[in-house]
């Protein structure tokens, strides 16, 4: 199981230490040592990062529909229902599109400018607290799954 090691002194000095440590645990690629809750948070973080960077269009281009279904399962598993509803709507649209390998930046931009997910992007950007904050709250309620606090 992957956990971030944090000193008690760090937590008293820097309240953002959990934020950074959380990214250490859930960021990056696949890690077979992650626990189920860590994997759920990893999928949420990847989705969050992709959509924040380039909207749902980029998320689906980079990850595909099956991966999106895994993310949706994680949202439900963590009780993140409002964000799950947004992804469910985006999945309906994505399932109707012909996804092809993008050969150039120009092709990507052309597809993105089409704005097939404008409503879902706007809804996602309006969620408050945002998905990252919600996912971090899950981790903070289950600190022992993500952090080892040492003296």
Residue 47 is predicted with a pLDDT of 97
**Cβ proximity of 44 and 74 under 8 Å:** yes
Burial (CB < 10 A; 0-12, 13-18, 19+), residue 103, is: exposed
Taking the C-alpha atoms of residue 149 and residue 83, their distance in angstroms, rounded to an integer, is 31
| Under 8 Å between Cβ of 11 and 17 | yes
Quick check: 123 pLDDT over 90?
yes
Write out pLDDT tens, residues 55-105: 999 999 999 999 999 999 999 999 999 999 999 999 999 999 887 888 888
- Burial per residue of 5-15, b for 16 or more beta-carbon CB atoms within 10 angstroms, e otherwise: ebeeebeeeee
Report pTM.
Answer: 0.89
- The position carrying tokens 């990062």 is 49
DSSP class of residue 93 equals: H
What is the average pLDDT across 103-127? 88
| Residue 15 vs residue 136, higher pLDDT | 136
CA distances from 69 to 51, 89, 121 (A): 15, 12, 17
Judged against a pLDDT cut of 80, whether residue 1 lies above it is answered with no
């Amino acid at each position: 199981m992957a956990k971030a090691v944090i000193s008690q002194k760090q937590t008293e000095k820097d309240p953002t230490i959990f934020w950074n440590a959380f990214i250490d645990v859930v960021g990056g690629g696949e890690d077979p040592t992650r626990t189920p809750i860590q994997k759920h948070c990893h999928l949420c973080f990847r989705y969050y990062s992709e959509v924040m960077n380039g909207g749902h269009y980029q998320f689906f281009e980079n990850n595909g529909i099956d991966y999106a279904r895994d993310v949706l399962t994680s949202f439900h598993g963590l009780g993140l229902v409002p964000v799950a509803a947004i992804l469910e709507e985006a999945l309906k649209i994505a399932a109707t599109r012909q996804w092809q390998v993008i050969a150039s930046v120009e092709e990507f931009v052309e597809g993105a400018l089409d704005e097939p997910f404008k409503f879902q992007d706007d809804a996602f950007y309006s969620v408050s607290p945002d998905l990252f904050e919600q996912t971090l709250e899950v981790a903070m309620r289950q600190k022992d799954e993500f952090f080892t606090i040492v003296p």
